[in-house]
Structure 1
């Protein structure tokens, strides 16, 4: 299923869904950031996805990182909350989601890096290379907030 992301676009479809989601900035020992190239839109993104009824929010991030990258992680902190109503995501099945994401920091504890059915490529990327990758600006925002080394999480 393909998806299109809209931000502050008057022509964007009206949201009909709100899904609680979690993502994670996972770094390796060199400080590189784990990214995946999404199969549904071809853009690079942090691993993450929707919370299930049996998940906690941090547990959602851990599960999604494993499902999408093959890596086991441990949550180490909070980057921020991302709930901007101007960001909507339209899916080809008719769902139009309003953004609701909590982004955590995490470190690798095991597993092996692997592409999933949701991605076409998965790799660790140096911070200086992030700007060169095709990526929705809301993903760049989360990464920028992480790189700022904020004392407090972003609340937005």
Structure 2
């Protein structure tokens, strides 16, 4: 947790926070999508995280990819901005957050990535068909459909 968020939590405890965030739709050369599971969650999710005060969203997603995967990335177009029920999260420690995330198309620089062990326990590349069979965070399908990475609901 960032020093900024830590200072907020010290003042408000586990109460709901509305937080700006970024998410990365990372594709490989075969069109597969990179998803990850955090240390404290069984569901698969996109790489991403919160913005720091004064940080531009595109800079934040580049930082998150660098921190979580240990590699640089090319940041592409904005896919969309997302909030609502699918972005409400209660963490195992009781902290409640409502995220509003800006999703970007991204490509990793060549080379292997190394997971940030404190935050992520695994990451893997998946096809659209494989993603349909996974237990993912509620927001993932909506973002991937808008990125034309998986079929939209009802298609």
Alignment TM-score > 0.5, same fold: yes
Give TM-score, length-normalised by structure 2.
0.78
Give TM-score, length-normalised by structure 1.
0.78
In 2, the alpha carbon distance for the partners of 1:91 and 1:45 equals 14
Q: Name the counterpart of 1:132.
A: 133
1:90 aligns with 2:90: yes
In 2, the alpha carbon distance for the partners of 1:103 and 1:124 equals 18
Higher strand residue share = 1
| Deviation by residue 1:43-97 (Cα, 9 ceiling, x = unmatched) | 1111000001252101111111121222311111111100215641112444211
Of the structure 1 ranges 89-98 and 21-30, higher mean CA displacement relative to structure 2 is found in 89-98
Q: Name the counterpart of 1:57.
A: 57
5+ residue gaps, structure 1: 2-13, 150-156
Q: Name the counterpart of 2:4.
A: none
| Deviation by residue 1:89-123 (Cα, 9 ceiling, x = unmatched) | 11244421112111010112245322222111112
Q: Name the counterpart of 1:71.
A: 71
5+ residue gaps, structure 2: 2-13, 151-155
Alignment RMSD (CA, Å): 2.3
In 1, the alpha carbon distance for the partners of 2:95 and 2:74 equals 31
Q: Name the counterpart of 1:152.
A: none
In 2, the alpha carbon distance for the partners of 1:136 and 1:102 equals 16
In 2, the alpha carbon distance for the partners of 1:43 and 1:86 equals 13
Point out 4+ residue stretches in structure 1 off by more than 3 angstroms. Answer: none
- Contact 2:40/2:92 (<8 A) preserved: no
In 1, the alpha carbon distance for the partners of 2:127 and 2:53 equals 35
The alpha carbon displacement at 1:42 in A equals: 1.5
Of the structure 1 ranges 27-36 and 114-123, higher mean CA displacement relative to structure 2 is found in 114-123
Higher helix residue share = 2
